[in-house]
């Protein structure tokens, strides 16, 4: 019996290649790589498309170290708490 990949598995592999390339070019950190992977796994397919589009934009421009939207809000909250 041969194993058949699902469309979701193929898309996840392509997504991981994209974030891996971003990490290798220094545009995201290892932590962000893990955050993006977790975000993609928990997103609906339409939201995944938006995430992929945003990451491709990041790959093609000079902006560095962008955080996933939901993660950046958490990071801001943590930084605010640390300042208090």
Closest C-alpha to 52, from 25, 76, 26, 17? 17
Helices (H), 28-68: 30-42, 45-59
- pLDDT at position 32: 97
Extents of the domains making up the chain: 7-83
In degrees, rounded to 5, the angle at the alpha carbon of residue 77 between the alpha carbons of residues 76 and 83 is: 90
Residue 3 has pLDDT above 50, yes or no: yes
57/79: higher pLDDT: 57
Residue 67 has pLDDT above 70, yes or no: no
- For 6-56, write each residue's pLDDT tens digit: 999 999 999 999 999 999 999 999 999 999 999 999 999 999 999 999 999
d(CA 38, CA 7): 18
In degrees, rounded to 5, the angle at the alpha carbon of residue 35 between the alpha carbons of residues 21 and 12 is: 60
């Amino acid at each position: 019996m041969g194993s058949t990949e699902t469309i979701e598995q193929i898309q996840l592999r392509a997504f991981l290649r994209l974030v891996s390339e971003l990490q290798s070019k220094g545009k995201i950190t290892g932590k962000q790589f893990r955050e993006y992977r977790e975000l993609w796994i928990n997103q609906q397919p339409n939201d995944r498309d938006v995430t992929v589009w945003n990451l491709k934009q990041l790959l093609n421009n000079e902006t560095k170290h962008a955080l996933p939207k939901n993660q950046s809000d958490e990071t801001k909250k943590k930084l605010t708490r640390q300042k208090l």
